[in-house]
Structure 1
Amino acid sequence: MKNNMIFVLLLFLLSSTGGFAHPQDSVQHIEKLEIGQKKKKSFTTKRQDSTLVLTIDTLIMKDKASLEFFGKKKVRLKVNYAEIPKQAYIIGTDSKNNGSDMDIQIHFEELGALYVLVGGRDANNGTRTYPNGNGGNVTFRYDKRGIRPQQADKEQEAYLRIDTRAGGYRVNPQSDLYNIYTQIGMGIRSGGGRLGGVPQGQIYSGSPGKDGKVTMEEF
């Protein structure tokens, strides 16, 4: 009897998340989520770089609302019904400057503009950080029975932008060198014999991370 109950529970998890749940995933289901204008809804866990499988039956995002995922290496998001009348954001990053890999399946009932931001973050020499991050890989599936997003003109309705660019492109080499020399001077004055304030004396290179990839599909 106990084994039968476990089997039924596993079937329920698979059906509610589109069949891509795994034992190590954190699985959540929300019937209705409404995010107000300029408000944020964040998903974080104590376990860093984990995977989240999230199903939202109804998602309403007002102007400049954000759906954010922090410390997530992978996010699998299924939205059965979405109303985004103006402009909204979906943001994902892990704990090491990398953008989250995202698998998004969504039905747009209304769409002004949606920005999916999973670009890599820049390293910051002189602070406790990680190297320039990689951009996340995104698979974006939209329901052809709803509104079909377009990526050509941000001034028009139903605009979709997916940013998977790596971190490090925006780094200013002169500013980095100034920070490094400042830390060297601090180390000399303190007699510490090492680069003061830089974790393990490490200097990150100016090389950018790796750009992510985008796959667009309709279903």
Structure 2
Amino acid sequence: MSKYLFIITILFCYCVSIAYGQSNEQHIPKLELKKKQKKVFHEKDRDSTTLLYIDTLLMKDRSSLQFFGKKSVKLVVKYAEIGDRAFISGMAGQNNASDFDIEMNIQKLGSLYIIARGQDAMNGTRTHPNGDGGQVNFLYSAEGVNPQMTNKKEKNYLFADVSAGGRAINPNSDLTQIYSRIATSAPGLRGIPQGQIYSGSPGNEGKFTLKQNTNEK
């Protein structure tokens, strides 16, 4: 009986993972990135959820953490030293940005940028509509640096880009590109992938919240 119960439990867990998307958890004791070095976390052809725990994170100037194919990223850092113009970025599927839930104890900070920006649709190619910006929640430790968002030339600067895709598109140039592809395509718009032309409507704007972690022990 216990053997059958074990099999049923495994099948149930598998079905839940399929229904809600792939989730994976990773623990890194120490991650040190040199100047301009990048660490990429990539999930091919799947919107997945990542839970990443880092005990010690050292990011030099212009280094980066980059997440691809990640619908949602939970990042917990117990100790962080971050140089100037470092960034954390995330892209999900279909031109949408990743959602971020970040908890970080920052002991040194030059400037950190969270890039959760929706991507633009590329009319005339196989594409998805203009993407949505990400939902970014950032909790910083009271025992560390208090980030500021007012002066990027000063230390301790933190900024999040959660803008929607399609905001910067020029309608005139976009239409010119579409007409050009139609004019040179085979009859029946066979030169346009799937015969689809997306509107210039932008995606949804994301949201950024910055709070001090009041639940620390």
* Aligned residue number for residue 180 of structure 1: 178
Q: Distance in 1 between matches of 2:52 and 2:45?
A: 16
* Counterpart secondary structure, 1:154: coil
State whether structure 2 residue 188 is matched by structure 1 residue 193.
Answer: yes
* Aligned residue number for residue 51 of structure 1: 49
Superposition deviation, residue 85 in structure 1: 2.4
Superposition deviation, residue 96 in structure 1: 1.0
- Percent sequence identity is 51
Q: Distance in 2 between matches of 1:90 and 1:130?
A: 24
Structural RMSD (CA) = 1.7
* Aligned residue number for residue 128 of structure 1: 126
State whether structure 2 residue 196 is matched by structure 1 residue 202.
Answer: yes
Report the TM-score, using the length of structure 2 for normalisation: 0.86
Asked if 2 retains the 8 angstrom alpha-carbon contact of 1:118 and 1:164, the reply is yes
**Structure 1 residue corresponding to 2:108, chosen from 107, 110, 117:** 110
Q: Distance in 1 between matches of 2:125 and 2:156?
A: 40
Q: Distance in 2 between matches of 1:94 and 1:139?
A: 17
Asked if 2 retains the 8 angstrom alpha-carbon contact of 1:120 and 1:165, the reply is yes
Q: Distance in 2 between matches of 1:173 and 1:121?
A: 16
Superposition deviation, residue 195 in structure 1: 4.7
* 1:100-140 residue CA offsets vs partner (Å, 9 max, x unmatched): 01100001010000000001011110111111000000110
Give 1:1-219 correspondences, 5 Å limit. 24-46=22-44, 48-187=46-185, 190=186, 192-196=187-191, 198-219=192-213
Unaligned residue ranges in structure 2 (runs of 5+): 3-19
Unaligned residue ranges in structure 1 (runs of 5+): 3-21
Q: Number of paired residues?
A: 195
Asked if 2 retains the 8 angstrom alpha-carbon contact of 1:186 and 1:195, the reply is no
Return the letter of the residue paired with 1:113. S
Superposition deviation, residue 193 in structure 1: 2.1
Superposition deviation, residue 46 in structure 1: 3.3
Return the letter of the residue paired with 1:202. Q
Q: Distance in 1 between matches of 2:45 and 2:76?
A: 22
